[in-house]
């Protein structure tokens, strides 16, 4: 009887420890995170967000599309614009997804997007100016190229 009670208590503690450690490890689960105009929760302008916001990474939410937009001088962030993805260049073909740029010039979403060779980004500033990528992007990790192998994403 006493043995059973003691082993019962140990089992209970073991279960608590297992569940406790899972809960603490946030990097093991995804969370829905989508940027909105005027949001101010993002950080690390210009860095590749998916270095951390990925399965197994430290960042909250595994982003599918994320990056940073700058003004025409490519120095200051361009806040509160919009990113749109289409199946053809220049905002033609079929619309795929819209992501609002936040108040710090960053955009991010955890919504599913399939990069099948037909995903063309278009950026519109808060002032209504538009600029589009001529080639399709192979990935939503916009800052993996922009600011590294090509210009920062910029719009007037
Ligand atoms: C070096 C790793 C790293 C990079 C790069 C990174 N993040 Fe994060 N991010 C984190 C971590 C860790 C957290 C959770 C703790 C915190 O809020 O600082 C986080 C949290 C966030 C949050 C959630 C804040 C909240 O309270 O809900 C947003 C939004 C975010 N990051 C956006 C971005 C964007 C956009 C980029 C790219 C421009 C980016 N992050 C780049 C590590 C990173
Ligand atoms: C694999 C590298 C790569 C990735 C990833 C990438 N781009 Fe580009 N982007 C380029 C290159 C190279 C150009 C210039 C040639 C062109 O327009 O195709 C460009 C051009 C652009 C332009 C037009 C800039 C100008 O001066 O005309 C915009 C806007 C843009 N990209 C937005 C994005 C967005 C938004 C994403 C993420 C959804 C993204 N890009 C992902 C490489 C990339």
Tens-place pLDDT, residues 46-62: 999 999 999 999 999 99
What pLDDT sits at residue 144? 98
Q: What residue owns the CA closest to ligand 2's atom 2?
A: 145
pLDDT of residue 28: 74
C-alpha separations of 89 from 7, 93, 121, 137 in Å: 66, 8, 8, 11
Q: What is the pLDDT of residue 13?
A: 45
Distance from residue 53's CA to the centre of ligand 1 (Å)? 7
User: Which of 56, 60, 67 is the best mutation target for the ligand 1 pocket, counting ligand atoms within 8 Å of the beta carbon and taking the most?
Assistant: 60
Sign of CA dihedral 49, 54, 56, 58: positive
Q: What pLDDT is attached to residue 120?
A: 98
pLDDT, mean of residues 23-32: 71
Q: Cα 122 to chain center, whole Å?
A: 17
Q: How far is residue 89's CA from residue 121's CA, in Å, rounded to a whole number? A: 8
> Is residue 121 very low, low, confident or very high in pLDDT (cuts 50, 70, 90)?
very high
pLDDT digits (tens, 9 = 90+) for 53-94: 999 999 999 999 999 999 999 999 999 999 999 999 999 999
- Mean pLDDT computed over every residue of the chain: 90
Interatomic CA distance for residues 103 and 69, integer angstroms: 11
Q: Report which of residues 60 and 10 the model is more confident about.
A: 60
Question: Nearest ligand to the C-alpha of residue 91?
Answer: 2
Query: Which ligand has the minimum distance to the alpha carbon of residue 36?
Result: 1
């Amino acid at each position: 009887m006493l043995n059973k009670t003691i082993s019962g208590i140990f089992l209970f503690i073991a279960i608590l420890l297992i569940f406790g450690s899972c809960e603490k490890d946030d990097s093991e689960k995804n969370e829905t995170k989508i940027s909105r105009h005027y949001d101010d929760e993002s950080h690390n302008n210009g860095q590749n967000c998916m270095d951390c916001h990925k399965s197994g990474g430290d960042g909250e939410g595994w982003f599918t599309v994320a990056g940073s937009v700058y003004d025409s001088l490519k120095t200051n962030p361009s806040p509160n614009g919009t990113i749109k993805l289409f199946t053809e260049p220049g905002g033609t073909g079929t619309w795929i997804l819209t992501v609002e740029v936040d108040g710090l010039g960053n955009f991010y979403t955890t919504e599913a997007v399939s990069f099948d060779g037909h995903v063309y980004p278009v950026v519109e500033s808060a002032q209504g100016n538009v600029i589009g990528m001529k080639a399709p992007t192979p990935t939503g990790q916009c800052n993996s190229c922009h600011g590294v192998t090509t210009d920062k994403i910029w719009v007037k």
